[in-house]
Chain A
Amino acid sequence: MTKPIIRIKGLHKSYGELEVIKGIDLEVVKGEVLVIIGPSGTGKSTLLRCINLLSSPDKGQIWVDGDEVTAPHTDINKIRAKVGMVFQDFNLFTHMTALDNVMIGPSKVKGMSKEEARELALFELERVGLVEKADAYPGQLSGGQKQRVAIARALAMSPKVMLFDEPTSALDPELIGEVLEVMKKLAREHMTMLVVTHEMGFAKEVSNRILFMEDGNIIEEGTPQQLFYNPREQRTKEFLGKITELYGEEG
């Protein structure tokens, strides 16, 4: 069996009175593309954010690439450097060019020299097809371009796993394709990915496994084939029906 890159055991998380994650167990192996779907407010973002400790779990254990994230005295920043994260609203650093956005991680977190970091950043921008926008500020890029730069920024840290939190939800429909293309390319390169998305076309085509979450629990998981054509749970069926109605077959 392949080594799990992410292992989660008995994860619980509450915000005040509100229990958002109600005991989740999950393993993601190297090279796997896991798509997480579910109604909004069910804890999908919180689950991703617990993995790199942007939210701190209340109970349970999480391992990333063999290191226990939840152990006391873990070097959080070292773990975060191994986990790439892509946000719904991009969060590119507004005052930096695309190139500087991609450079800052390697140079400030990994202590890479300016020249090395620059070369790496250009390589990563090339990977997302935006090398000609290296000197543009985020304010001069389209939403799709911003998200591709954000992906390059995460890739520049050579992460063991990439977390995508609704990466195309803030995009105009005509810009979604270019971002999904980059993500598909990453999947073909065997990047381990956890993707929260409503893009069912992407899920069907690229994912190895789909996980349906509702109300802080994993309701059902399986291959795209199983979930789309033969779901066990009525709730899964209803949700997929609604999503397809809202976003269409291809998302």
Chain B
Amino acid sequence: MAELAKFWEMIWPELGRGLVVTLRLSAGSLLIGLLIGFPIALMRVYGTRWMKALATGYVDAVRGTPLLVQLFFIYYGLADPTINQLLVNLGLPEGFLVLEKITAAYLALGCNSGAYQAEYFRGALQAIDAGQMIAARALGLNRLQAIRYIIIPQALRLVIAPWSNEVAYMVKYTSVVYIIAVQDLFGETRRIMSAHYNQMTMLPFVGMIYLVIVLLITWGMGRVEKQFHIPGLQIDVERV
């Protein structure tokens, strides 16, 4: 018991720091993903032909390539001297796209999540019965008003369930950033393990931490969904 307490005391400062990084990274990337994904979904469903093509291209490119490739591209690829020179020639400051590790992590995870969130939002938008738009237009609402007052409020409610999956995925996926030496929960874990050779204790323990976070999120999002529930408005978005 005393030994365990001592071990805990030893690892907690580092692990706690890592946990904060993981939580921030998850929240920040989800937010970036939301800011990318929602407009992309709107473009894909309601945009002009060009907007649709652009949005579809983005979603396909991101979903069709490994997250690690995207992370390396943003961290190492953009820091490439040729690109740097190109940017300087364009009048941008020296090293404009040479990113901090943590910035690259936010961007890579955020852009990646954006594509998946776009798909969730698109599914929700398309799940709304076409009669809703027709009734709104028949009433005299213009297209933008119909989207804003009729379609989006329903889609946002429908998207809560699939979106909470994305939250849980994100918390777990953040662990890939250890590979560019960001000291998140898993980065710190690796450091502790290499100093103490205690992977058989650390890995299950850290796994439990991830699990608890994911369970808390699932529970919390379930509450949110209940909070916004409207009788009669419940289409299983994942099915469409």
**Which A residues are closer than 8 A to B by beta carbons?**
52, 54, 77-78, 80-81, 83, 85, 87, 89, 91-95, 104-105, 108-109, 137-140, 150, 153-154, 157
If A94-B230, A95-B154, A137-B232 touch, does A108 touch B138 (CB 8 Å cutoff)? no
Q: How far is the CA of A153 from the CA of B157 in the complex (A)?
A: 23
Having A91-B131, A93-B135, A93-B150, one finds 17 other A-B pairs with CB under 8 Å, namely A77-B142, A80-B139, A83-B138, A87-B134, A91-B134, A91-B135, A93-B132, A93-B136, A95-B157, A95-B233, A105-B141, A108-B141, A139-B233, A140-B231, A150-B135, A153-B139, A154-B139
Confirm or deny: B137 has a beta carbon within 8 angstroms of a beta carbon on chain A. Answer: yes
Closest chain A residue, CB of each to CB of B150: A93
- Is A139's CB under 8 angstroms from B142's CB? no
Residues 204 to 240 of chain B near chain A (Cβ within 8 Å): 230-233
Residues of B within 8 A of A105 (CB): 139-141
Chain B: interface secondary structure? Answer: helix
If A87-B131, A87-B134, A94-B132 touch, does A80 touch B140 (CB 8 Å cutoff)? yes
Residues of A within 8 A of B153 (CB): 95
> When A and B form their complex, what is the total count of cross-chain residue pairs whose Cβ atoms lie within 8 Å?
72
Confirm or deny: B145 has a beta carbon within 8 angstroms of a beta carbon on chain A. Answer: yes
Measured as residues with beta carbon below 8 angstroms from the partner, the interface class of chain B is: 20 to 34
Q: How far is the CA of A92 from the CA of B140 in the complex (A)?
A: 15
**Which B residues are closer than 8 A to A by beta carbons?**
129, 131-132, 134-142, 145, 149-150, 153-154, 157, 230-233
- Is B141's CB under 8 angstroms from A77's CB? yes
* Cβ of B131 to closest chain A Cβ, rounded Å: 4
B131, B137, B140 pick with most chain A CB within 10 angstroms: B140
Closest chain B residue, CB of each to CB of A110: B140
A-B contact list, 18 entries, CB within 8 Å? A52-B138, A54-B134, A54-B137, A77-B140, A77-B141, A85-B138, A91-B131, A93-B136, A94-B233, A95-B154, A105-B140, A105-B141, A108-B145, A109-B139, A137-B233, A153-B139, A154-B139, A157-B140
